Structures are given as C-alpha cells and as structure tokens.
A and B are shown apart, each in its own frame.
Chain A
C-alpha cells in the first residue's frame, strides 16, 4: 500500500513537469531557469506566467473536484453522484450567464466573482434544505431539482441573448484551466488546501456512513452535523474550482472509483488521499491532452475528461463496482 502511495506521488510530480513543458511553444527547464534568473526570454515568460499557474491550477482544481465527488458519493451512497449533483454547476452557470449575457461585464473578475457567488448561494440554499430533510435521498432529489430550476432560468437568458455572447458563455461552461493566473492560484491554494485538510477529519464518520444514515446514527454519528459539514465542504471545493475553471466534467465522478479500485478498499482514511492525488494527476493529464490533441487548436478540458471519464463510468456500471 505504501509503495502505491509513493508511486502515485511520484507520478503526480512528473505530471506537473510534463504539464509545464508540453504545449504549443517548445520549452525546456533551461528556459524557465534562465527566466527566473532574470534573463529576458519569451519562452521562459510563457512557462512561468502561463503554464505553471495553469498546471498547478489543474492539479489543485482536480484534487478539489475529486474529493468533493468522493464526499457526495459516500454520503448519498450512490456511485453516480459527483460534485455537481447538488446543483452547484447550474447555479454557477446561471450567475455567469447573468454576468455575460445580461451584459453586466465580461472581464475575468466578473465571471469568477459571479460564478463563485452563484454557487455559494446555491450551497446556502442546499444547506437550508439539508437541515429540513429526513434522509440523504430526499436531499439528492432536492439538489437535482434545484439544478433543473437554475438551468431553466439560464435557458431563458440564453434565448434572449446575442449569439456572440452566447458563444462566449458556452465556452465558459466547457471548462478550462487556461485562464488561471498566479493570483487565482494563490486564492485556490489558500482556500482549497485547508478545505481538503478538513475533509480528512471526516474519514471516521464517512466510514460509518457506508452503512447508511440510520446505522451511522445508531453507532454514535451526529448525522445532521456531519451532513452539514459534508455539503458545505463539497460545495465549497466545487464552487472554488468552478469559479476559476468553469464546469469540469467527470473528474469528480470517475476518480473516486479509480481510487477504490486501485486499493480495493472503501476505507476513507486511504480513499481521501488517494482520490486527491488521482484527481490532481488525471486533471493535469487531461489538461495536457486538451492542449496537444488538436494542436494548435485547444480543446475545452471537459471534452477530454468526458472522453476518458465516460468509458470508465460505463465500465464501472457494467462491472457493478461498489461505492
């Protein structure tokens, strides 16, 4: 088990290096080194100002999404749950749609801000519901319905908007790590890493929740409190990534399954770190593929994550792998 962890960590470091070096501009470690030494170098500049934050952003963002998916899959005891089942993505896109389509501004800060605000509002709404509902299934249905509701409003906006703005909006919903700057990365790090640390403290109640809420309650889990923490953390992590990178599909759904299969365990003390590492690796790799697959055209990252994620989910459903 320890060896697998070491290998995973090693792969994750390699993936970062590949992510930094791969792309439309040929670059080497030397260029980066020269640039950091203060030498004027365009290639070095591209690497340091574009590729490094982008790759690290994909790394952290993938980790956040994956662990958020794990939380919700366990809590809902549903292998098809992902970070977006509670309507976070729909809320974020509605807010972004408002921002872009209603012409409230098309600059980066506006989009990031509105996406984050929208998803946090949805989180608050879900939390209010979470205190009321009796069990997980009810909450899941409520979350899905909220998603439809937000989408409906979003579609009204799309119907009424100019086509050029619609194109811009649609591109945002495909998700991409390309726009991430050092400032963005700083925020993701400061907010995302502590949130992920908090997820570790949930390993014990998450294991108990494998038996369902009723059993968890009977074994001493404060189910309502744990439910609130799970919803808050998973929504927060998802909102954070969605704000900066748009909707990145499938990473949060597929990587927890990969983690379970890799260690053949459902013990969250192992699953949480594994899911974090795998989510990071997978997202960085997908980001690299999105850059080089149709070079020089850059694909949205969701295209790649879906292409790799969907077959995995189909495989899992057919093999009936367990949560």
Chain B
C-alpha cells in the first residue's frame, strides 16, 4: 500500500473530518468527491501535513507522514491546492524548478540533472511551450498544468490534487484528466484528487470515495457508483445521476401530452431538449439495452420498455397504444427500423398527429403519414 489513511480526524478548531479511512495503490487514481464544504480540502491538507491531524495516522510506504521532516516528506509527496498564487515575474520554468527545492543546494542552484527533471515534468503535462512564459500571464488551465509539473518535479510517490479541474476552459477540462492518467500510468504515481464533479471523477478515477459532513459515506470502484448514493450525497431532486452514462440527467415531471417513439440513440437529443424546457413526455417502445432507454428512464414521465433483443410483444404494444391515446401528439425521432423494433411503426400509425424527423422520401418508403419537421421546430410545436 502506497498511502494509507487510518481513522483520521482533522480540522481547524473543530473537527471537520472524523474517522476517515483511505488507501491508495501505486499508479492508482483515487477520487474524493463530495459537495463543497464537505471537508475534502481539509482532508488533502492533513494528508500532506500542511495541517496537523487531531487523531489518526497517515502512512506513506509505512512511514507516518506527520513524523517526517518537511524536507523528507517533500521528496515523497506533493500537492497542488486551489490557491492561485501571484508569483510576480517568475516564468513557467522557474515555478516548476521550485519543485526541486528538497534536492537543490542552499542557494537553490539547479544542476544539469535538475534541469532535465524539470523539462521532463513540463513534457509530462504538455507544457514545454510554457517554459518561458510569465506565470502571471497564463490562463487558469496553463497555471494548473505548471503547478502539476511543479509537483512532479518533487519526484513524489504520491500526488495530491485539490480540485484540479475547477475553473478550467473546455480544452483543459479534457486535457488535464488525460495528463493525470498518463502520470499515474507512466510514472506509477499514486494520485488522490478531490472534485465536486462526479461526471469527471467517474471518467478518470479508479476508485471513488464519497465524503459528506466529514465522513466517508460510500466508496468503491468508479464503475460501481450507485445513483442512490449520489442522490443522498448531493440531495438533488431535479436531476439523477446515471452510472451507465456517467452523467446527470434532468428528471421529467408532470402530465405528458407528448409521446416520443425512438430507439438506437435517435431519441437522446429530442428527450433532453424536451426535459430541459420542462415539457413532460412519455416514451416507448424502447428496448432495455438501448441508450435511449437510459435517458428515457430519467427524462420521460413514463416509459414502455421491451426485453433486450426481443421482438416487441403484444402486451408491450398495448401499453404503448394506451400512452399514445392520452397524448395530443407523437414525435417520431427517425429511429432505424429493424426486425426487433419494427412494431414501433404500429405505434406511430395509431397516433392522430405525428411529427417526424425523417425525410419525406423516407416517410414514403415506410408508408407513414406524418408531418416532416426539423429539430429546430420541435420546441415550437411541442409548446403550442
């Protein structure tokens, strides 16, 4: 075990955290997620010995980190915080080379080897081009890369990152997680990061620990994350986390006047558009293994589903007919028609008014009487 946190309690004057147990292996990324103010940052600062623990121990390779000298610990463990420092005229290279602090002589002179390590750290975070740029003139994303490179220059075994992807632009929000994976894989560094972004945590972390009110409420592999736990953690009523999609989906509410017939992913955008605009709808028939089903599960107020890879049965079709009957209009998302979902055409044909996203030619081919619309018109029609 690279890093082991045992029964840790920490805080400033009052304990913010109590009885925290964690462990991280070499090359593993552990995500600590929880709402803002749940004690995530305090936890990282205590693990890194910036704060003293009130109780409990943190072991790094079997050594108690709070008993190590700062200069010894700095060679084993590095941290980036959310603190955006104003470092004056220092360039990217100079900031990263500060990470060599525990290795350089009394005046901080860099040896050839130090320069190599600094350049390697810059390479690992795709930031060689920032070496001569003044740190104060960099964007948040660039600064974050430089601060990660600075931490790497300490040649640590464990890297702690507090909110590494907050306040970043789209490019860096994608790039930095990839960089972290590379650091874990190439260098075998154990990474512990905090975030309040579950979608991101699921994408990059191996394991996830959820913290709420200073306690670990759940932990496990990112892939095992349960939507009920997320609901409890964040207490969001209007959206639900889908562990399969790895995203939050808004929840539809109300009495549906619209029915959506979809499948094969063709309904995803339609359903999200309607939900976003608070237009309640029902959906079906959708197969349970269809991506549209995962979205409809949250967005639609009612779904008619069929077992995976089976042709639509009579009972299922009856259910769909009943939903269509209660609706004012039906939307055909232009789903691909194959053997197992062919009977969805029957659903469309029972409807009084059908709006279709298919082309006229296609509609003629399947012999469906519907009005052709584009995605952009959908909202106008559905709001009527």
Interface residues of chain A, those whose CB is within 8 Å of chain B, are 77, 201, 203-204, 207-208, 210-212, 214-215, 217-223, 260, 264-267, 269, 322-323
B366 at the interface (CB under 8 A from A): no
Chain A residues touching B, majority SS? loop
Q: 5 A-B pairs, CB-CB below 8 angstroms?
A: A208-B98, A218-B78, A219-B78, A265-B89, A322-B87
B83 at the interface (CB under 8 A from A): yes
B170 at the interface (CB under 8 A from A): no
Residue of A nearest to B98 (CB): A208
- Check B87–A210 contact: CB distance below 8 A: yes
- Check A264–B98 contact: CB distance below 8 A: no
Q: How far is the CB of A253 from chain B (nearest CB, A)?
A: 16
Q: How far is the CB of B242 from chain A (nearest CB, A)?
A: 37
Q: How far is the CB of B58 from chain A (nearest CB, A)?
A: 14
Q: How far is the CB of A81 from chain B (nearest CB, A)?
A: 14
- Check B70–A264 contact: CB distance below 8 A: no
Q: How far is the CB of A197 from chain B (nearest CB, A)?
A: 13
- Check B87–A219 contact: CB distance below 8 A: no
- Check B98–A218 contact: CB distance below 8 A: no
- Check A212–B83 contact: CB distance below 8 A: yes
**Other CB < 8 Å A-B pairs besides A208-B98, A265-B90, 7 of them?**
A204-B106, A217-B70, A219-B102, A220-B71, A322-B88, A323-B86, A323-B88
Which residues of B sit under 8 angstroms from A204, Cβ to Cβ? 101, 104, 106-108
B15 at the interface (CB under 8 A from A): no
- Scoring B residues 53 to 91 as 1 if CB is less than 8 Å from chain A, else 0, what string do you get? 000000000000000011111110111010101111110
Q: State which size class the interface on B falls in.
A: 20 to 34
Q: How far is the CB of B299 from chain A (nearest CB, A)?
A: 44
In the complex, which of the residues A77, A201, A219 contacts B98, with contact meaning CB atoms closer than 8 Å? A219
In the complex, which of the residues B73, B75, B85, B107 contacts A203, with contact meaning CB atoms closer than 8 Å? B107
B166 at the interface (CB under 8 A from A): no
Q: How far is the CA of A76 from the CA of B368 in the complex (A)?
A: 75
- Check B94–A211 contact: CB distance below 8 A: no
**Known contacts A208-B98, A215-B81, A218-B48; is-contact A266 B108 (Cβ 8 Å):** no
Which residues of B sit under 8 angstroms from A218, Cβ to Cβ? 48-50, 74, 77-79
- Check B101–A322 contact: CB distance below 8 A: no
**Known contacts A214-B45, A220-B70, A267-B94; is-contact A260 B88 (Cβ 8 Å):** yes
B136 at the interface (CB under 8 A from A): yes
Q: How far is the CB of A198 from chain B (nearest CB, A)?
A: 12
**Known contacts A211-B98, A220-B71, A221-B70; is-contact A266 B89 (Cβ 8 Å):** yes
Residue of A nearest to B71 (CB): A220
Q: Total contacts A to B, CB within 8 angstroms? A: 85
Q: How far is the CA of A264 from the CA of B91 in the complex (A)?
A: 11
In the complex, which of the residues B79, B83, B101, B136 contacts A220, with contact meaning CB atoms closer than 8 Å? B101
B99 at the interface (CB under 8 A from A): yes
In the complex, which of the residues A203, A210, A215 contacts B88, with contact meaning CB atoms closer than 8 Å? A210
- Check A212–B98 contact: CB distance below 8 A: no
Q: How far is the CB of B91 from chain A (nearest CB, A)?
A: 9
B154 at the interface (CB under 8 A from A): yes
Interface residues of chain B, those whose CB is within 8 Å of chain A, are 45, 48-50, 69-75, 77-79, 81, 83, 85-90, 94-95, 98-99, 101-102, 104, 106-108, 136, 154
Q: How far is the CB of A225 from chain B (nearest CB, A)?
A: 10
Q: How far is the CA of A212 from the CA of B82 in the complex (A)?
A: 12
Residue of A nearest to B77 (CB): A218
The 6 lowest CB-CB distance pairs between A and B, nearest first, are A220-B74, A266-B88, A220-B71, A204-B108, A322-B88, A220-B102
Interface centre among B83, B86, B106 (most CB of A within 10 A): B86
- Check A214–B88 contact: CB distance below 8 A: no
Interface centre among A211, A265, A269 (most CB of B within 10 A): A211
Which residues of A sit under 8 angstroms from B99, Cβ to Cβ? 219
- Check B83–A215 contact: CB distance below 8 A: yes
- Check A221–B101 contact: CB distance below 8 A: yes
- Check B108–A214 contact: CB distance below 8 A: no
- Check A210–B70 contact: CB distance below 8 A: no
In the complex, which of the residues A201, A212, A219, A260 contacts B74, with contact meaning CB atoms closer than 8 Å? A219
- Check A220–B98 contact: CB distance below 8 A: no
Which residues of A sit under 8 angstroms from B81, Cβ to Cβ? 214-215
- Check A215–B102 contact: CB distance below 8 A: no
Q: How far is the CA of A14 from the CA of B83 in the complex (A)?
A: 45
Interface centre among B70, B88, B104 (most CB of A within 10 A): B88
- Check B101–A269 contact: CB distance below 8 A: no
Q: How far is the CA of A211 from the CA of B79 in the complex (A)?
A: 12
Which residues of B sit under 8 angstroms from A323, Cβ to Cβ? 86, 88
- Check B83–A210 contact: CB distance below 8 A: no
Which residues of B sit under 8 angstroms from A220, Cβ to Cβ? 69-75, 101-102
**Known contacts A214-B50, A218-B79; is-contact A207 B108 (Cβ 8 Å):** yes
Residue of B nearest to A212 (CB): B85
Q: How far is the CB of A208 from chain B (nearest CB, A)?
A: 5
Q: How far is the CB of A254 from chain B (nearest CB, A)?
A: 16
**Known contacts A220-B102, A322-B86, A322-B88; is-contact A211 B78 (Cβ 8 Å):** no
Interface centre among A210, A214, A215, A218 (most CB of B within 10 A): A218
Q: How far is the CB of B151 from chain A (nearest CB, A)?
A: 8
Q: How far is the CB of B134 from chain A (nearest CB, A)?
A: 9
Which residues of A sit under 8 angstroms from B107, Cβ to Cβ? 203-204, 269
- Check B90–A266 contact: CB distance below 8 A: yes
Q: How far is the CB of A257 from chain B (nearest CB, A)?
A: 10
**Known contacts A204-B107, A322-B136; is-contact A260 B98 (Cβ 8 Å):** no
Interface centre among A210, A212, A214, A219 (most CB of B within 10 A): A219
Residue of A nearest to B97 (CB): A207
Q: How far is the CB of B75 from chain A (nearest CB, A)?
A: 8
